Amino acid sequence: MKKTYGYVRVSATDQNEDRQLIAMQEKNVPEINIYTDKQSGKDFNRPQYKRLLKNIKKGDLLYILSIDRLGRNYGEIQKQWHKLTKEVGIDICVIDMPLLDTRNGKDLMGTFIADLVLQILSFVAESERDNIRKRQQQGINAAREKGVKFGRPETVLPDNFPKIIKEWEKGKITTEEAARKCNTSRSTFYRKVQKYKLKSNRAK
C-alpha cells in the first residue's frame, strides 16, 4: 500500500517549524510519517532525512513545503531529486510550487517543465544562501571597521605581571599559582609569558 510522507527542515534549533507542520497536516500526512531535521541545508548528511530514505518505498508520496526545505546546495538538490524520483521511484510534491509535483504531467513535456523549474528554484536557493553569507561577511567587516572586536575578549593581565614571571622563573611559585594570580589558565599564562618576552626582546 502506498504511503504519504512529509519532510520538514529548519536551519537551527531556535527556528520554528510550525508553518511546515501545518502544511503537512493540511495534506493529511500522518504524524508518524513526518521527519524533521533542525540542521543546515548545505548537504544531506541529516539524521531524519536518512531515516526517511530508509523507510520510503517505490510509489510513495513525499511532501515538502518548498524546495529550499529539501536543501540549499544546487548540485546536491539535483542529485537527491533524481535519486528519489528515478532510483527509489517515489513522487514528490513541493507544496509552494504546484509545477513541482511529479504526479502531474508524467509525459515528456511535463517532465521537462518539472526539471526546468527544479533547476531554476535550486539555483535560486543556493544563490540566496551565498547572498546571506556575503551579507554576513559584509556586516562583520563593517563592524570591524568601527572597532568592534569578535571572539574572546583579551585577557587583562595584572600590573605586577613582570614580577609574577620572575617569581615563577625562580621557582618561588608554581605554574598553577602564577596562572591563578593572573586569573588565566596555564596555557594562557604560557602564551602571555612568551608574548611578553618577545615584546621585551624587541624593545632592547
Q: Is 122 a catalytic residue?
A: no
Residue 18's alpha-carbon distances to 9, 28, 50, 189, in angstroms, are 11, 15, 22, 49
Q: Diameter of the chain by CA atoms?
A: 86
Q: How far apart are CA 203 and CA 200, in angstroms?
A: 5
Q: How far apart are CA 44 and CA 48, in angstroms?
A: 10
Out of 11, 127, 187, 200, pick the active-site residue. 11
Cell of 3: 504511503
Q: Which residues are catalytically annotated?
A: 11
